[in-house]
Structure 1
């Protein structure tokens, strides 16, 4: 069975770029552009990792992350936060992120980080 990765970002171009980079045929990639949909998507997809943008309208990445970390089911789920914000890494870590990648990110670093969490 292929590992599933959920990517949540309000920027469609970022979603498409991440899908293109990560979809090598060995993974299921699920894209979520509306942050309010993430909880339903996680419930049915059972991902092995999540890529989560920090700054999104309605529900921000840190709000989502805090809710996920507060539930037993998602407390240990690898969540990699991505952000272009200068203070993004500290906000992400405080909210419980497993890892942080600054935008614009290095493609090889992105792939290595994702692979490390889906194979562990």
Structure 2
């Protein structure tokens, strides 16, 4: 599957995760945008219109659940798949509560990351 021209936003306050994920995804032809907080999330996402969003649960300031819900309530943005990711043991519950399409438990390996992204892209 040719991923050229695909855009992804990663919201995570962990710089290591941002740099690792960015590196891997850019190698695969993704244009990667990263943010360490979810302030003004609707404006940020509207300005980029990504194909996929990776959302951390513990993102400052309002948190991943509120941030994801803000996107899902927005008519123009609600179709963008959100992959919720967290080290929290209740991640499935959190992802459902947020309205995310799917989730990825931390720590994850890179095959898991690629697989979950491909899964949501196929469903679009």
TM-score over 0.5 for the pair:
yes
- Note the alpha carbon deviations across 1:56-82, whole angstroms, 9 max, x for none: 221100000111111111222100010
Unaligned runs of 5+ in 1: none
- 1:61 equivalent in structure 2: 64
Matches within 5 A, 1:1-120: 2-118=5-121, 120=124
SS at match of 1:100: strand
- For the Cα contact (< 8 Å) 1:35–1:58, is it kept in 2? yes
- For the Cα contact (< 8 Å) 1:3–1:118, is it kept in 2? no
Q: How far apart are residue 88 of structure 1 and its match?
A: 2.0
- For the Cα contact (< 8 Å) 1:10–1:35, is it kept in 2? no
Point out the more displaced range, 64-73 or 108-117: 108-117
Question: For this pair of structures, how many residues does the alignment match?
Answer: 120
Distance 1:10 1:37 in 2: 15
- For the Cα contact (< 8 Å) 1:32–1:38, is it kept in 2? no
Point out the more displaced range, 46-55 or 68-77: 68-77
Q: How far apart are residue 25 of structure 1 and its match?
A: 4.8
What is the TM-score with the length of structure 2 in the denominator?
Answer: 0.88
What is the TM-score with the length of structure 1 in the denominator?
Answer: 0.90
